[in-house]
C-alpha cells in the first residue's frame, strides 16, 4: 500500500499537495490528518468523497510500503505515523518547499523554495502532459493561492504563477476558490480584531514598522492567522507578531510580514515553530516563556536580525567627480560625456557649492555660453544625505524634491553620490557587490 500524507493542522497547500499526489501516484491513498484548518474542514465537508482520501486511523500501517510526505519534512508534524518511523523497508518520498531541514530521511526528495508545495507537483503534472478535472484544478489552485497570498507574498516565484496558469487552463474555478479562500468573518473573529486594534505596540527597526500584540483568548478561535493577516494590512505595518494566550500552559504566536527583510519564519523557528519569510507560527509553552518575555525576545530577534538591509553607503557611487565653480561649461560637458555621468558636483576641496545635471545644459541658449563658468548654471541649493540612512529614506527625498542626485556627506566631506539609478538598482534586488 502506498500512502500520501501531510502536516497536522492541514492547510490548503497540504491538502492540495496530497490530492495532487493521488493523481501523480495512481493507486496511492491520501491520508489527511484529523486536525485540519477550519476552511479546509469546510471544504472537505462537501468535497471529501470526490477524492481518494482517508483518515490516519482508517489505514493499516503494517501494509504501508511507500510513504509520500508533502508540505513538510518533519515526523512530529505528521498524524499517527510514528509506527512507520523505524520501519527500514519503507520507501519514503518527500515534496516540500520549506527552507529548514527536517528529520524525515527520504529515498527521494523534491525540495525547492517555491511559494507553495503544490507548485512542485504541478510541475511534474505539466511534464507528464496530464490534464486535470476542473475540480482537481480548483483545489490545487486554492492551495497555491493560500500559500502565496494570491501570488503576492515575497516568497512567490515565477513558477508559482506558471502553475496557476496551468490550473486555470485546466478549468480551475475562481468563484469556488474565492469562497474558500476568503471566508466571511464571524463575531468571534471580529471581537479579536477589535481587541487587537485597541492596543498595538509598535517597534521601528531599519525603517520598518513592526506591530506586536498580546491577546488573551477565552475560547478557541478559528482562522486566527487570517485575522492577523488582515490586521497587518489595516494598521499598515511591515510585519506583525500576535501572541495569543491560549490558557495557562501555552501561547501561540502568529507572524505575518509584507517585506522580504523581516523573515517571520526564521524568527519563529527559534521558538520551535516555523513557516516562511512572509508567514509563520509557533506554539510556545508558558513554562519556557511567559507572554511578556516572549514579546521581548521577539523584539530582540527582530533587532538582531542580520537581514537589516542596506544603507546609502552600500549603494552610492564613488569617488565623486567635482569641478571648480570657474570651470567652463564645455569642459564640464566633455567630462560628463567621458565619465558617462548625468550629474557633476561643483565646489572647492571639501566645500560643496552646487550641482549640475544633464538637464541644465538646456539652459544654454547661445554658443558662447559654453565658455561661461559652471557656477552660472549650477543648482546652488543642494540636498545632501548621510551615508547611514536607509535607501527608502533617500528615495523619499528624491521623490519629494524631484531630484535625481543626492551627494552623500560624512563629517563635512562629500564621500559619494547617490543617483536614481542606484536606488532603482537596489529596489529591484540587484544590489551591486
For Mn ion, which is the closer residue by CB, 147 or 422?
A: 147
* Contact flag: residue 13 with Mn ion (CB under 5 A): yes
For the CB of residue 13, give the shortest distance to Mn ion in the complex, in Å: 3
For Mn ion, which is the closer residue by CB, 267 or 279?
A: 279
For the CB of residue 17, give the shortest distance to Mn ion in the complex, in Å: 7
Of the residues 146, 147, 263, 422, which one makes contact with Mn ion according to CB under 5 A:
147
Nearest to 131 by CA among 170, 99, 158: 170
For the CB of residue 282, give the shortest distance to Mn ion in the complex, in Å: 16
For Mn ion, which is the closer residue by CB, 158 or 399?
A: 158
- Region 316-335 residues binding Mn ion, contact defined as CB under 5 A: none
For Mn ion, which is the closer residue by CB, 13 or 422?
A: 13
- Region 79-138 residues binding Mn ion, contact defined as CB under 5 A: 117
Q: Which of 146-154, 315-323, 396-404, 421-429 is the region at the interface with Mn ion (rule: CB under 5 A)?
A: 146-154
For the CB of residue 117, give the shortest distance to Mn ion in the complex, in Å: 5
For Mn ion, which is the closer residue by CB, 167 or 385?
A: 167
Q: Which of 8-16, 194-202, 209-217, 379-387 is the region at the interface with Mn ion (rule: CB under 5 A)?
A: 8-16
For Mn ion, which is the closer residue by CB, 13 or 79?
A: 13
Q: Which three cell numbers stand for residue 148?
A: 502565496
Of the residues 71, 160, 238, 360, which one makes contact with Mn ion according to CB under 5 A:
71
For Mn ion, which is the closer residue by CB, 102 or 416?
A: 102
For the CB of residue 61, give the shortest distance to Mn ion in the complex, in Å: 25
* Contact flag: residue 238 with Mn ion (CB under 5 A): no
Cα end-to-end span (Å), the chain: 53
Nearest residue (beta carbon) to Mn ion: 13
For the CB of residue 37, give the shortest distance to Mn ion in the complex, in Å: 12
For the CB of residue 343, give the shortest distance to Mn ion in the complex, in Å: 47
Q: Which three cell numbers stand for residue 97?
A: 518547499
**Sites of contact with Mn ion (CB under 5 A):** 13, 71, 117, 147
Amino acid at each position: 500500500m502506498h500512502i500520501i500524507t501531510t502536516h497536522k493542522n492541514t492547510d490548503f497547500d497540504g491538502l492540495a499537495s496530497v490530492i495532487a499526489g493521488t493523481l501523480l501516484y495512481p493507486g496511492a491513498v491520501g491520508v489527511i490528518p484529523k486536525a485540519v484548518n477550519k476552511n479546509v474542514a469546510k471544504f472537505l465537508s462537501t468535497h471529501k468523497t470526490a477524492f481518494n482520501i482517508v483518515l490516519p486511523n482508517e489505514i493499516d500501517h503494517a501494509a504501508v510500503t511507500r510513504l509520500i510526505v508533502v508540505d513538510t519534512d518533519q515526523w512530529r508534524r505528521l498524524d499517527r505515523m510514528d509506527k512507520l518511523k523505524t520501519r527500514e523497508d519503507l520507501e519514503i518520498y518527500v515534496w516540500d518547499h520549506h527552507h529548514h531541514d527536517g528529520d524525515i530521511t527520504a529515498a527521494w526528495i523534491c525540495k525547492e523554495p517555491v511559494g507553495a508545495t503544490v507548485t512542485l507537483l504541478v510541475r511534474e503534472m505539466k511534464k507528464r502532459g496530464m490534464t486535470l478535472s476542473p475540480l482537481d484544478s480548483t483545489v490545487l489552485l486554492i492551495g497555491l493561492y493560500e500559500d502565496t497570498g494570491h501570488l503576492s507574498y515575497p516568497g512567490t516565484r515565477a513558477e508559482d504563477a506558471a502553475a496557476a496558469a496551468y490550473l486555470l487552463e485546466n478549468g480551475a474555478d475562481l468563484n469556488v476558490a474565492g469562497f474558500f479562500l476568503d471566508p466571511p468573518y464571524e463575531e468571534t473573529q471580529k471581537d479579536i480584531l477589535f481587541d487587537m486594534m485597541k492596543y498595538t505596540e509598535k517597534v521601528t527597526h531599519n525603517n520598518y514598522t513592526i506591530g506586536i500584540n498580546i491577546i488573551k483568548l477565552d475560547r478557541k478561535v478559528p482562522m486566527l492567522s487570517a485575522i492577523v493577516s488582515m490586521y497587518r494590512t489595516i494598521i499598515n505595518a511591515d510585519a506583525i507578531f500576535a501572541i495569543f494566550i491560549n490558557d495557562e500552559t501555552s501561547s501561540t504566536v502568529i507572524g505575518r510580514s509584507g517585506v522580504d527583510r523581516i523573515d517571520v519564519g526564521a524568527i519563529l523557528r527559534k521558538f520551535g515553530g516555523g513557516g516562511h519569510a512572509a508567514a509563520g507560527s509557533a506554539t510556545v509553552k508558558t513554562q519556557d516563556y511567559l507572554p511578556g518575555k516572549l514579546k521581548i525576545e521577539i523584539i530582540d530577534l527582530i533587532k538582531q536580525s542580520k537581514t537589516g538591509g542596506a544603507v546609502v553607503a552600500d549603494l552610492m557611487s564613488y569617488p565623486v567627480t567635482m569641478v571648480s565653480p570657474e570651470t567652463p561649461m564645455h569642459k564640464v560637458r566633455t567630462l560628463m560625456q567621458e565619465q558617462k555621468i548625468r550629474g557633476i558636483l561643483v565646489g572647492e576641496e571639501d566645500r560643496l557649492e552646487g550641482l549640475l545635471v544633464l538637464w541644465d545644459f538646456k539652459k544654454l541658449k547661445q554658443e558662447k555660453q559654453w565658455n561661461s563658468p559652471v557656477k552660472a548654471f549650477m543648482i546652488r541649493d543642494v540636498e545632501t544625505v548621510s551615508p547611514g540612512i536607509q535607501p527608502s529614506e533617500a528615495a523619499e527625498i528624491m521623490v519629494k524634491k524631484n531630484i535625481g542626485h543626492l551627494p552623500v556627506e560624512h563629517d563635512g566631506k562629500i564621500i559619494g553620490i547617490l543617483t536614481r539609478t542606484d536606488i532603482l538598482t537596489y529596489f529591484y534586488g540587484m544590489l551591486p557587490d
